[in-house]
Structure formats: C-alpha cells, structure tokens
Amino acid sequence: MALKATIFKADLQIADMDRHYYADHALTIARHPSETDERMMVRLLAFALHANDALAFGKGLSADDEPDLWQKDLTGAIDLWIDVGQPDEKSILKACGRSEQVIVYSYSATSGIWWNQIAGKVARARNLWVRNLPQDASLALAKLAQRTMRLQCTIQDGQVWLTDGAETVQIEFATLKPLQGDSVR
C-alpha cells in the first residue's frame, strides 16, 4: 500500500521590502512521505522569497521533470524554476534549458561537498543562481512546521526573518553561484 502525502496548511504573511511585495497567502502544501519537515519548510521559505500570483508548488519529489516551485507565463513557458536540496548537474542543466531562470536552494551539512562536485559542470549556466541556507537555520525552520501554521516573513536588505509569533528564525544565505546578467526577479 502506497503512503499518501501529508497535507499542511500555512497562512503566510509576506512583507518583502526589497521587492516592495506585501501580501497574504493561504497555502496548501503536500509533504511527500519521504520529505522531511526541514525540506518542506525550505520550500515554503523559497515561496516567500519569490511570491507572486503566478508562483506555484510543483510535484517536487513526486516528479523528476518538475521543480519544487515554478512560475509560468500566460503561454505556459517557464519563467522561474526553483529546486530545493542538492539536484544533480544533469537536472540543473536541463532546467536551465527549459526556464528563463533557475534557482537552487541547498540546505544540508553536505552542501559544500555537493557544490564542489558540480560547480565546474554548471558554471556555464548563465541563468542559474545557487544559494545555500546554513544548516542551523534550516533546522530551526523545521521546528516551525505544524499541520496548520500562521507565519510572518519579513525580507529586508537580503536578510529574512520567518516567525510563527513565538519563535523567529533569521536567515542569511550564502551565494554559491551568482546569477549572471540581469538581476534576480
């Protein structure tokens, strides 16, 4: 018998002063049976960082050819592809060919090893941005995971604060590979 996804609900208030984006989102998040709270919360954080009306959760772990989050234009073309974790270089390069922009959020203690193995292979991808979330921050995010969540996310000067009202997690990313060319949307 196959295990089913666990459903989480999140009321997410976003105040992104860097992008001048202020909105509330009622999100339903399906957590794959093999997904951890840590990974799910990093997906939620990625949503908060790039939130807009067109951004949607993909099938994630359930499908190899879909990202964790994506944004499509009105024609169905992929504007933004977001993966969480440590995808292999073939998946990253394939995503770079299919999307206008690709962002990878890595978050585990082994991110440095993973990046050292693939950095040279993905260096030519001009539309790729790779950011690393420190492990202490991702573990703190996991502690915020509840089946029903009310979260506030504040973004200012590249720093992020995510809180449930009782606990606050401050996040500062390390850029492993900057986006080449124009700025991140």
Q: What is the pLDDT of residue 185?
A: 47
What CATH architecture is 6-165?
Answer: Roll (3.10)
Q: What is the pLDDT of residue 3?
A: 78
Q: Kindly report which listed range (58-62, 96-100, 147-151, 156-160) carries the lowest average pLDDT score.
A: 58-62
Tens-digit pLDDT profile for residues 127-172: 999 999 999 999 999 999 999 999 999 999 999 999 999 999 999 9
Beta strands in 110-166 (DSSP E): 128-132, 148-156, 159-163
With contact defined as beta carbons under 8 Å apart, do 14 and 53 qualify? no
pTM of the predicted model over 0.85: yes
Q: Domain residue spans in the chain?
A: 6-165
